[in-house]
Amino acid sequence: MKALIAVLGGDGIGPDVVAQAVRVLGATARHFGHEFELAPALFGGAAIDAHGDGLPPATLDLCKRADGVLLGAIGGPKWSAPDAKARPETALLRLRRELGVYANLRPVAVHPALRDASTIKADVLDGVDLLFVRELTGGIYFGEKRRTATDATDVCTYTVAEIERVTRVAGTLARARRKRVTSIDKSNVLETSRLWRSVVERVIATEFPDIALEHMLVDAAAMHLIRRPREFDVLLTENMFGDILTDEASMLAGSLGVLPSAALGDGSRGLYEPIHGSAPDIAGRGIANPIGTILSAALLLRHSLGLDTEARAIERAVSEALEAGARTADIAGPGVPVMTTGGMGEEILKRLRA
């Protein structure tokens, strides 16, 4: 297979971790006989510095031509001043909308070798395997915004069509899992959540009658994610709630650094990135965990290129490296030897080659 993959290193530790995912993709292509053109482009703060725009036209054009987009992380204090004319985060929202990727998939599974990396009791973590489906291009992040010297407004808006399409993604994925969907909202106070609840209920009942649906308020969901996480299967949520809850859920797995994500639309092209931020305080020090980015590359192979065998090979190599004791600082316990970003990449590559 020939494929064009846009590679957006981003800011902070983004280039550090993306470099390891690029090594893994290259090795995968060689091993399985594919031709991946891995095309780099500036994005986020780095693009603002170079072009005054976090999403330059050349970068957007590449992403629209690519079969899949691999992204590191963006942002940092350098570009976060309240009066900044260009922000990396705004560029990311634009990219998501331009690519039409409205469903964000964030799997959270606790690897047995990392049970002790979490601050949560091991008996609570056993068997945790859940999947967030977060609506990605609507809600308060994309609503009308207004600010004056004395007040500010962010409007949260959802349409029936936006809720229907992301619900169908959740229902389809639940059919391949344990056939349970938990829809998260705040319908006791928000009109958008009341619409969300009614639309989700109708779509699941009429199009996915084999799926068990439960509704849960977002504050209760935040509690139960820690109290009884293994009881969840697919969690469906709007944009802002999903942003917050998925970071909370990452602590089940021990670290933000080990979790991937995929942003999908109606076509095969997707945007793939780890869920962690740019962590500028450790950028360039070679201590960031590349696993989330490497697993995001595996999701790219599976969802955008249809290469499930290759994706499983990468996921198996990551699992074997962890079982063998490979640890970066964020997942290493007291007295456990710590390796560099490149060292973790090499441990995964050795098992992939084997």
| Catalytic residue ranges | 141, 186, 219, 243, 247
Dihedral-angle region of residue 240 (phi above 0 means left; psi in -120 to 50 means alpha; beta otherwise): alpha
Three-class SS state of 207:
helix
Q: Which residues contact 58 (CB under 8 A, 6 or more apart)?
A: 41
Residue 249: in which H helix or E strand, if any? helix 239-250
Q: Which residues does residue 274 pair with via DSSP β-bridges, in sequence order?
A: 260
Rounded distance, CA 112 to CA 28, Å? Answer: 25
Q: Which amino acid is at 280?
A: P
Using a 10 angstrom Cβ sphere, with 0-12 exposed, 13-18 middle and 19 or more buried, the burial of residue 126 is exposed
Q: Which residues contact 281 (CB under 8 A, 6 or more apart)?
A: none
Contact of 257 with 292, CB cutoff 8 Å: yes
Rounded distance, CA 14 to CA 44, Å? Answer: 10
**Could you write out the DSSP letters of every residue in 164-178?**
HHHHHHHHHHHHTTT
Give the burial string for 19-47 (b: 16+ CB within 10 Å, else e): bbbbbbbebbbeeeebebebeebbbbbbb
